[in-house]
C-alpha cells in the first residue's frame, strides 16, 4: 500500500481519489487474512465488478426498505430495482465462489506444508464442510458476510478518515510523533504490540467513526416491553437506531460537528451514546479486526506521507445504502515525508 503510494508520487501523481484505492486495499486485506488467498492483478476487473455489485445490492435494499410497494417479492422482482438486484447478486456470487474454489484447490498443498500454521476462516469452513457440518450455501453466506463487512465498511471509514486528516495538519503531526515514539526511525510495519500503544491514533479513529459511522443506522426487534420516558414500545416492535444522528447530538457531544479526537481520550464519559459498531450481544463481529486494520493503515500512511486537502474544509454530500458513502470523489494531496 505505502509502496504503491510512493510509486504514484514518483510517476508525478500527487492527488489521489482515495475511495477506489482504499477499497481495493481493504478487499485484498480481507481476502488474504480471512480467506487465505491473495488477489493478483489479473483479478482487477473481477474486483471492480464485485465492488460495483456490492454497491448496487446496498442501493436496492435501501430502495426496497423505503418503498412499501416493493415489500412484496412479486412486485420487487418485476421492478427495475429487483431485476438489477438479481444481476448484482449473481455477480457477487461469481466472485465469492471463485474465492472459495481457489482456496479449495490449494487445500492439499497447504495440508502437506502448512502444519502448525494458523488457519484462515475459510479453511475452518471447508473443514466443517468435509465433516458435514455446513454446506456450500452456508460457506458462501459466511464468506459474503466477512467479505462485505470486512472490506466495504472499513474502506468507507478509512476514506472519510483520510479526508479529515488531510484537513487537520495538527492531528497528523500528533499521530506522526506518537508513531515515532513507539517505532522510532524504523521502516518496519507496526506490529500488534505497537498498535496497542497508539492511544492517540485510537482516539482519532473513534472520532472519525463518530462523525462518519460506516453503518449509519441499524434495526432491532424489541423482545420485551420497553419504556422510554412516557413512550411505551410494545414487545415485538421493530425500531431503527439512527447512529449518524445520535453521534452528532450537541447534548451528548459538545461541538458535535468539530473533529476533536481528544474527546475519546476519556472514554468513561462516552457510554452508549457512541455506537459505530452497535453494542451488546449483537455488536459487530469484526470490530477488533477493523480497528487493527485502520490503525495499521493510518499509521503507515502518516509515517510516510503528509496529507493536504484540495479545498480546505471541504465536506462531500453523503448518501446511505447499507453503508455511509460520499456522493463525490474525495481527493487528497500526498507528499512524501
Helix (H) or strand (E) run with residue 198 in it: none
Residue 306 lies inside a defined structural domain of this protein: yes
57: domain CATH number?
A: 1.10.630.10
Q: Give a yes or no: residue 208 inside a domain.
A: yes
Q: How far apart are CA 282 and CA 279, in angstroms?
A: 6
Q: How many CB atoms lie within 10 A of CB 246?
A: 18
Instruction: Determine the pLDDT at residue 260.
Output: 95
**pLDDT for the residue 185:** 86
9 part of a folded domain? no
H-run or E-run covering 11: none
Residue 97 in any domain: the answer is yes
Helix/strand/coil for 293: helix
For position 191, what pLDDT does the model report?
Answer: 92
Nearest to 208 by CA among 278, 261, 149, 271: 261
- Residue 328 belongs to a domain: yes
In a domain, 164, yes or no: yes
Instruction: Specify if 236 maps to a domain.
Output: yes
Whether residue 319 is contained in a domain is answered as: yes
Q: Specify the residue for cell string 463481529.
A: 285
Report the chain (337 residues): mean pLDDT per 10 consecutive residues.
Answer: 71 85 85 73 72 86 90 94 94 87 76 58 88 90 82 92 96 96 89 94 97 93 90 92 94 94 80 87 86 93 93 90 90 91
Q: Which domain holds residue 41?
A: 14-336
The domain tally of the chain equals 1
C-alpha cell at 184: 522510532
What local confidence, expressed as pLDDT, does residue 112 receive? 47
Distance of CA 230 to CAs 220, 227, 252, 287, Å? 20, 7, 21, 34
SS3 251: coil
Q: How far apart are CA 321 and CA 293, in angstroms?
A: 23
- What distance in Å separates the CA atoms of residue 43 and residue 37, rounded to the nearest whole number? 12
Question: Residue 113: what pLDDT?
Answer: 45
pLDDT reported for residue 108: 64
Amino acid at each position: 500500500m505505502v509502496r504503491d503510494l510512493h510509486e504514484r508520487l514518483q510517476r508525478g501523481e500527487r492527488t489521489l481519489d482515495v475511495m477506489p484505492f482504499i477499497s481495493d486495499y481493504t478487499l485484498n486485506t480481507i481476502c488474504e487474512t480471512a480467506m487465505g488467498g491473495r488477489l493478483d492483478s489479473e483479478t482487477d476487473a473481477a474486483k471492480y465488478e464485485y465492488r460495483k455489485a456490492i454497491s448496487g445490492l446496498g442501493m436496492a435494499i435501501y430502495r426496497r426498505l423505503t418503498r412499501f410497494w416493493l415489500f412484496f417479492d412479486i412486485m420487487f422482482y418485476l421492478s427495475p430495482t429487483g431485476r438489477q438486484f438479481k444481476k448484482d447478486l449473481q455477480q457477487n456470487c461469481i466472485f465469492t465462489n471463485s474465492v472459495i474454489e481457489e482456496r479449495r484447490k490449494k487445500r492439499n498443498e497447504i495440508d502437506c506444508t502448512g502444519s502448525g500454521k494458523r488457519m484462515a476462516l475459510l479453511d475452518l469452513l471447508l473443514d466443517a464442510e468435509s465433516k458435514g457440518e455446513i454446506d456450500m450455501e452456508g460457506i458462501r453466506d459466511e464468506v459474503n458476510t466477512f467479505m462485505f463487512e470486512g472490506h466495504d465498511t472499513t474502506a468507507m471509514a478509512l476514506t472519510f478518515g483520510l479526508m479529515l486528516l488531510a484537513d487537520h495538519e495538527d492531528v497528523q503531526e500528533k499521530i506522526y510523533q506518537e508513531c515515532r515514539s513507539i517505532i522510532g526511525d524504523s521502516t518496519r510495519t507496526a506490529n500488534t504490540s505497537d498498535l496497542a500503544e497508539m492511544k492517540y491514533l485510537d482516539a482519532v479513529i473513534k472520532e472519525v467513526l463518530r462523525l462518519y459511522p460506516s453503518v449509519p443506522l441499524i434495526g432491532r426487534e424489541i423482545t420485551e416491553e420497553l419504556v422510554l420516558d412516557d413512550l411505551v414500545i410494545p414487545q415485538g416492535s421493530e425500531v431503527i437506531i439512527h447512529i449518524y444522528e445520535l453521534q452528532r447530538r450537541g447534548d451528548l457531544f459538545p461541538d458535535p460537528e468539530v473533529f476533536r479526537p481528544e474527546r475519546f481520550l476519556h472514554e468513561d464519559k462516552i457510554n452508549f451514546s457512541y455506537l459505530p459498531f452497535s453494542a451488546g450481544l449483537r455488536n459487530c463481529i469484526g470490530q477488533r479486526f477493523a480497528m487493527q486494520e485502520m490503525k495499521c493503515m493510518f499509521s503507515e500512511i502518516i509515517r510516510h506521507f503528509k496529507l493536504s486537502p484540495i479545498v480546505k474544509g471541504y465536506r462531500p454530500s453523503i448518501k446511505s445504502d447499507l453503508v455511509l458513502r460520499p456522493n463525490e470523489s474525495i481527493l487528497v494531496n500526498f507528499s512524501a515525508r
